[in-house]
Structure 1
């Protein structure tokens, strides 16, 4: 199971180092700080920073939490933090664990998500870590290249910012700027190219944004090469209409 160690902001990697040096390896399988990539815009240029996702928190995976906690209390640096109230040992629920395992599977860094917009700030498609959680977006700042999603963490709902990258960003060479992780990052950010297909699938809820059926909404029944078959409820019955993929968008917030 996954647990969270709460410590002093700025000393997260120091805590990981203490654990790796002193705690027996059989008491845990992984211990790390979570990071995320964020695009910063300066004078019309994009720079990728790698920053702490949850300042003041360290993740640890263990099947023996009681033994682990007792061991941590015996470590002088740990016991002092506990006594000073600067340390806590918190469990996360199964649903939360699945979220973090999915988001942090790439070197414990939440990578940038590619977001394609329709020109009016509405999402057409998403690629990357954000794809499965687009319906959890509560605020979007595309000019500043981030969105805020709402998630449950340690028994209560919290908001967290995730970095996004837009079409104009991947058309230029992007350097890494500030990197908080001890991992060595390359000089330039290598953007994963968005999927060449339109990314729609049967069951997606979509809205028609142009054409003869503009402003209608429905569920995709069938996906073809350049069109989709959408089921809509009209005149008391379900009906099908075929619409070009360029005339629709997914119903994201």
Structure 2
């Protein structure tokens, strides 16, 4: 199952490296931070860069969260395997896991989706993550090259930003 570890914003990648270095692989299958492709306009086109999809959260796949919890205490960074007061660890629900698997690639990156817009600026066709979740778009910013979809995650509705690229772009 997928579990969520909370850390300090900006330290997601470092924490993944520390966990991979300090915790024996027998306690988890995979540990990762999900990133999304973003763009910024430069003088000579667009520059692609990565940002965390969920700042301050990393994911770990394990069948034994209790053992992982005790191993995490050895990691010298502020970490917290999300749980309630009765030490029931929060796993990502099946629907949430399906969403996360649908939007990311094998490197845990949400790539920008190619979109087609009509003359009014409305997205009429899209591939990738935006194409799968087009019916959940609550905001679109074509000029800034992203859309915002609403998705249930960790028990509450969240706005998740997905990058887009228009057909005429060469990036």
Residue matched to 2:24 = 24
Cα-to-partner distance string for 1:96-127 (whole Å, 9 max, x where unaligned): 01111222233110001011001111222111
Residue matched to 1:95 = 95
Equivalent runs, 1:199-214 vs 2, <5 Å: none
**d(CA) in 2 for partners of 1:97 and 1:125?**
25
**d(CA) in 2 for partners of 1:115 and 1:47?**
18
Question: Is the 1:116–1:124 contact (alpha carbons within 8 Å) kept by the matching residues of 2?
Answer: yes
Q: How many residues are treated as equivalent by the alignment?
A: 164
Residue matched to 2:110 = 110
Q: CA deviation at 1:43?
A: 4.8
Q: Is 1:159 paired with 2:159?
A: yes
Q: CA deviation at 1:47?
A: 1.9
- Indicate how the Cα distance of structure 1 residues 44 and 124 shifts in structure 2: closer, same or farther if over 3 A, else same: farther
Between structure 1 and structure 2, the one with the greater Rg is: 1
- Indicate how the Cα distance of structure 1 residues 167 and 14 shifts in structure 2: closer, same or farther if over 3 A, else same: same
Residue matched to 2:6 = 6
Equivalent runs, 1:132-211 vs 2, <5 Å: 132-169=132-169, 172=170, 174=171
Cα-to-partner distance string for 1:202-252 (whole Å, 9 max, x where unaligned): xxxxxxxxxxxxxxxxxxxxxxxxxxxxxxxxxxxxxxxxxxxxxxxxxxx
- Structure with the larger RCO, 1 or 2 (CA within 8 Å, 6+ apart): 2
Q: CA deviation at 1:23?
A: 1.2
Equivalent runs, 1:30-109 vs 2, <5 Å: 30-43=30-43, 45-73=45-73, 75-78=74-77, 81=78, 87-89=80-82, 90-109=90-109
**d(CA) in 2 for partners of 1:46 and 1:106?**
24
**d(CA) in 2 for partners of 1:20 and 1:106?**
18
**d(CA) in 1 for partners of 2:14 and 2:70?**
19
Q: Secondary structure at the match of 2:133?
A: helix
**d(CA) in 2 for partners of 1:115 and 1:76?**
42
Structure 1 unaligned regions, length at least 5: 175-253
Question: Is the 1:38–1:112 contact (alpha carbons within 8 Å) kept by the matching residues of 2?
Answer: yes
**d(CA) in 1 for partners of 2:154 and 2:75?**
27
TM-score norm. by structure 2 comes to 0.89
Q: CA deviation at 1:44?
A: 7.6
**d(CA) in 2 for partners of 1:14 and 1:39?**
23
Residue matched to 1:223 = none
Structure 2 unaligned regions, length at least 5: 83-89
TM-score norm. by structure 1 comes to 0.61
**d(CA) in 2 for partners of 1:14 and 1:149?**
28
Residue matched to 1:180 = none
